[in-house]
A and B are shown apart, each in its own frame.
Chain A
Amino acid sequence: MTTIDPAKTSLNYHHEQAAETHHHEHPDLRIPGVIVFLAAESMIFLGLFMAYIAFRAVTPDWPPEGTPKLELLLPGINTAILISSSFVIHNADTAIKKNDVKGLRLWFGVTALMGAVFLVGQLYEYFHLEFGLKTNIFASTFYVLTGFHGLHVCFGLILILAVLWRSRKPNHYNSEKHFGVEAAEIYWHFVDVIWIILFLLLYIL
């Protein structure tokens, strides 16, 4: 059997180097983490969408007889607001990459306002609908799907407000370091995309 003399190799070099580099920074993997998390989130929605499609497929009349027709005007406006808010929030990202905290605060503020208007519109619709959670299978799926999405909008809103709150501190966010801004933006886009599918499924198709 042969042996390798470590002294003859460049191994030792590595151990010297090792001592110096011991406590280097943990890599920042939060954005990949958010993306993977949203993959899981979208699977919950996919499951609920598939349930909706299945209920629809096995029910002879859809929506079941006696369900009042859904009003399209208010949800339509709501949809437009939510979709455009996705473009608005992107300005904030562009701003912070230029170190413009004021711009970040402005665009996040506008987005938060639009999100709030969406939620109020949603609640207004709930109170004026002529069917309740237990009216029939269509009504149940309608409320659960929109309600579950509404919770996500709420959470997105909280994220945005949290970023706004934290951005008061000078240099909390800058062009190098703005994970919170990015995460809130990605989440907001996600909520937006889910709404588009939901709107198509529940109101249009």
Chain B
Amino acid sequence: MTQAAQIQEQANLPAHGQEPGDWKRYFSFSSDHKVIGIQYLVTTFFFYLVGGVLATMVRTELATPESDFVSREVYNSLFTVHATVMIFLWIVPAGTGGFGNYLVPLMIGARDMAFPKLNALAFWIIPPAGIMLLSSFFVGAPGAGWTNYPPLSLISGKAGEMIWILSVLLLGTSSILAAINFLVTIWKMRVPGMGWNQMPLFCWAMFATSILALIATPVLAGALILLSFDVLIGTAFFNPTGGGDPIVYQHLFWFYSHPAVYIMILPVFGMISDIISVHARKPIFGYKAIAYSSLAICGLGLIVWVHHMFTSGTPPWMRMFFMITTMIIAVPTGIKIFSWLATLWGGKLDGSSALLFAMGFISLFVIGGISGVMVASVPFDIHVHDTYFVVAHLHYVLFGGSVFGLYAGFYHWFPKITGRMMDETWGKVHFWLSFVGFNLAFMPMHKLGLEGMNRRIAEYDPKFATLNLICTIGAFLLAISTIPFIVNAAWSWLRGEPAGDNPWRGLTLEWMTTSPPPVENFDADPILATGPYDYGMGSRSTEVDVPFSDADDPALSAGPSSTLRAKPDPVVAADPSDRGTESHNR
């Protein structure tokens, strides 16, 4: 064990707090952030499976050029509900609500979230909203695509549209409530001594995500309120025949839905930063660069939305502006990618499933990112707009990016959440099946798109048949790949090898308590004896007495004595060579 880990672990003996209750708490209005986190993860994973079944049905329909598996109307509903479920009921709530709730308070050394009851409320909005959305299949599910552009959404079935609007409004509300909670928690509840720059990168990512959710989601609510007036009462906000303007809906919609892309990917960026550093046994490369690039993505992410509307009659100056801002986003994203690569470089990679998924995430996300820069350029986008090229791009970032990252998170934090290890062999089977299936399903779509195959249509030109069949086979493989994961997770939760408190020898505070952590997480405020990523820095040769804390002023406890400080306090520095007589800290 590295010395850093030893220092950190000895500074924080595992808590022996109250044992959590029995399984019934997972079905209650519990305000424990860990229970809520698990509620989120399990619920959203269930919806992921539902969305996956819908996707498999879409691909089954597309296996042949004719519309033979389901009717065209049902096909429209399938891809509409598939996208809505995957975005609003799986990736957004799993990344923010699931991992965010479970990890943020632990990582910052807090006992719970700032508003535990609000937190429970935010979760309990989700199951009814999800069930409502799925029940729309009984009354004619929405079929205007997940974007629900008017006037198309005004002329399809009213019941389905209203169900869609209501469930998205509910899910948006849940997302806003969660964002309020995260912002206040991260802002106010860090353990004394943890400055902004001592936070684990996942917390930085959650902070940026929550700002985005807080700013962008209400605008979608505004758009949906206006849309529901149009659908229900017959006003003409977005109906050109009554003097309205559908383009305004597109602006309001994408003002939320483009940042939503970052709401879906930023938490995963944070998780990947943590996972790679732990499993490569190296300090993260460019801590501040990764942290602040999250904020840069958050800021830039709010001013790029019109790139979804290059073919909506957008004036040239506006296209130019949004093309440039969109391309600039590649810079902070690239900073992260290269920092992760530099962290991996020369690291002592442990080859675990978590690391495999993290590396799979990087490779697939880079492909999706590059095709993202391609579609950001106006002339190229005009060519591929609404084709399978866009479908390929978005699945590389949302599936290859977000979902692979979420899987990495599952493998990494499963021991902490359940107290048991997952089976590595089945984890690797899961990874390779997913990786191969994913590329088989989505790589050919780039070519289909460039050749002009339109998205959202049940039938296609027979010349696309071969590639589509390959995509469908890949999709089936992808569907099968979840089986080893589900079996592995269920089996390991019940019978897995006990994990111990810190199986990965991590340094962040969630590993400094028992697995699973007790109610209220820690016996006392945990102590930061090292930075969050000080792996492999235990080469100091002499034993020294390290006064870890200042008994009179707990606020300084992690401060001057931290071995990770660039300029340790000369009076209490861990390394004798850093010591002096005069303190410059007080």
Chain A residues packing against B (C-beta within 8 Å) = 1-6, 8-11, 13-15, 17-19, 21-22, 26-27, 29-30, 32-33, 36-37, 39-41, 43-48, 50-51, 54-55, 58-59, 64, 133-134, 136-137, 140-141, 144, 148
Sampled A-B contacts (6; CB under 8 Å): A1-B3, A2-B543, A13-B549, A29-B184, A43-B219, A50-B251
Q: Which chain B residues numbered 1 to 34 have a C-beta less than 8 Å away from chain A? A: 3, 6-7, 10-11, 13, 17
Q: If the complex has contacts A36-B183, A47-B218, are A9 and B548 also in contact, measured as CB distance less than 8 A?
A: yes
A13 pairs with B551, CB closer than 8 A: yes
B215 pairs with A39, CB closer than 8 A: yes
Chain B residues packing against A (C-beta within 8 Å) = 3, 6-7, 10-11, 13, 17, 111-112, 114-115, 118, 176, 179-181, 183-184, 187-189, 214-223, 225-226, 229, 233-237, 242-245, 247-248, 251-252, 255, 523-525, 527, 538, 540-543, 545-549, 551, 557
A43 pairs with B218, CB closer than 8 A: yes
A134 pairs with B223, CB closer than 8 A: no
Nearest to B237 among chain A residues (CB) is A140
B11 pairs with A33, CB closer than 8 A: no
B218 pairs with A55, CB closer than 8 A: no
Nearest to B248 among chain A residues (CB) is A54
Nearest to A43 among chain B residues (CB) is B218
Known: A46-B218, A148-B225. 5 other contacts (CB 8 A): A15-B524, A19-B523, A43-B218, A43-B219, A54-B245
Q: Which residues of B contact A55 (CB under 8 A)?
A: 237, 244-245, 248
Q: Which residues of A contact B234 (CB under 8 A)?
A: 134
CB distance from B266 to the nearest CB of A (A): 18
A144 pairs with B226, CB closer than 8 A: yes
A37 pairs with B252, CB closer than 8 A: no
- Give CA–CA (A13, B549) in the complex, Å: 9
B184 pairs with A10, CB closer than 8 A: no
- Contact of B543 (CB < 8 Å), options: A4, A43, A134: A4
Q: Taking chain A's interface residues, is the majority helix, strand, or loop, or is none over half, making it mixed?
A: helix
- Contact of A27 (CB < 8 Å), options: B188, B245, B540: B188
B219 pairs with A46, CB closer than 8 A: yes
B218 pairs with A44, CB closer than 8 A: yes
Q: If the complex has contacts A2-B541, A3-B543, A140-B237, are A36 and B219 also in contact, measured as CB distance less than 8 A?
A: no
Q: Which residues of A contact B540 (CB under 8 A)?
A: 2
A47 pairs with B252, CB closer than 8 A: yes
- Give CA–CA (A1, B527) in the complex, Å: 23
- Contact of B251 (CB < 8 Å), options: A9, A13, A33, A54: A54
A18 pairs with B10, CB closer than 8 A: no
A33 pairs with B180, CB closer than 8 A: yes
CB distance from A149 to the nearest CB of B (A): 13
- Contact of B538 (CB < 8 Å), options: A1, A21, A45, A58: A1
CB distance from A39 to the nearest CB of B (A): 6
The 10 closest A-B pairs by CB, nearest first: A18-B524, A47-B222, A47-B219, A43-B218, A44-B218, A140-B235, A137-B243, A29-B114, A54-B248, A36-B180
Nearest to A138 among chain B residues (CB) is B243
Q: Which residues of B contact A45 (CB under 8 A)?
A: 222
Nearest to A38 among chain B residues (CB) is B180
Q: Which residues of B contact A64 (CB under 8 A)?
A: 243
Q: Which residues of A contact B557 (CB under 8 A)?
A: 14
B242 pairs with A14, CB closer than 8 A: no
A10 pairs with B547, CB closer than 8 A: yes
Nearest to B527 among chain A residues (CB) is A14
Q: Which residues of A contact B17 (CB under 8 A)?
A: 22
Q: Which residues of A contact B187 (CB under 8 A)?
A: 32
CB distance from A140 to the nearest CB of B (A): 4
B214 pairs with A40, CB closer than 8 A: yes
- Contact of A59 (CB < 8 Å), options: B13, B188, B225, B243: B243
Q: Which residues of B contact A144 (CB under 8 A)?
A: 225-226, 229, 235
- Give CA–CA (A141, B244) in the complex, Å: 10
Nearest to A148 among chain B residues (CB) is B225
Q: If the complex has contacts A10-B551, A44-B219, A144-B229, are A137 and B545 also in contact, measured as CB distance less than 8 A?
A: no
- Contact of A39 (CB < 8 Å), options: B188, B214, B524: B214
CB distance from A197 to the nearest CB of B (A): 14
- Give CA–CA (A51, B237) in the complex, Å: 9
- Give CA–CA (A190, B179) in the complex, Å: 20
- Contact of B524 (CB < 8 Å), options: A22, A26, A40, A134: A22
CB distance from B169 to the nearest CB of A (A): 11
Nearest to B249 among chain A residues (CB) is A51
- Give CA–CA (A116, B552) in the complex, Å: 54
Q: If the complex has contacts A4-B7, A144-B226, are A29 and B547 also in contact, measured as CB distance less than 8 A?
A: no
- Give CA–CA (A153, B13) in the complex, Å: 52
B218 pairs with A33, CB closer than 8 A: no
B6 pairs with A47, CB closer than 8 A: no
CB distance from A65 to the nearest CB of B (A): 11
Q: If the complex has contacts A2-B3, A29-B189, A44-B222, are A11 and B548 also in contact, measured as CB distance less than 8 A?
A: yes
Q: Which residues of A contact B112 (CB under 8 A)?
A: 26
- Give CA–CA (A10, B226) in the complex, Å: 62
A9 pairs with B237, CB closer than 8 A: no
CB distance from B315 to the nearest CB of A (A): 12
A40 pairs with B244, CB closer than 8 A: no
A14 pairs with B549, CB closer than 8 A: yes
- Give CA–CA (A9, B524) in the complex, Å: 18
Q: Which residues of B contact A13 (CB under 8 A)?
A: 549, 551
- Give CA–CA (A57, B136) in the complex, Å: 37
Q: Which residues of A contact B214 (CB under 8 A)?
A: 36, 39-40, 43
- Give CA–CA (A44, B245) in the complex, Å: 19
Q: Which residues of B contact A133 (CB under 8 A)?
A: 229, 233, 235
A140 pairs with B236, CB closer than 8 A: yes
A11 pairs with B10, CB closer than 8 A: yes
B236 pairs with A51, CB closer than 8 A: no
Q: Which residues of A contact B189 (CB under 8 A)?
A: 27, 29
B223 pairs with A47, CB closer than 8 A: yes
A26 pairs with B111, CB closer than 8 A: yes
Q: If the complex has contacts A2-B3, A144-B229, are A8 and B245 also in contact, measured as CB distance less than 8 A?
A: no
A137 pairs with B244, CB closer than 8 A: yes
- Give CA–CA (A32, B252) in the complex, Å: 28
Nearest to A54 among chain B residues (CB) is B248
B538 pairs with A51, CB closer than 8 A: no
Q: Which residues of A contact B13 (CB under 8 A)?
A: 15
Q: Which residues of B contact A1 (CB under 8 A)?
A: 3, 538
A36 pairs with B184, CB closer than 8 A: yes
- Give CA–CA (A185, B237) in the complex, Å: 34
Q: Which residues of B contact A140 (CB under 8 A)?
A: 229, 235-237, 244
Nearest to A34 among chain B residues (CB) is B180
Q: Which residues of A contact B251 (CB under 8 A)?
A: 50, 54
- Contact of B252 (CB < 8 Å), options: A9, A15, A41, A51: A51
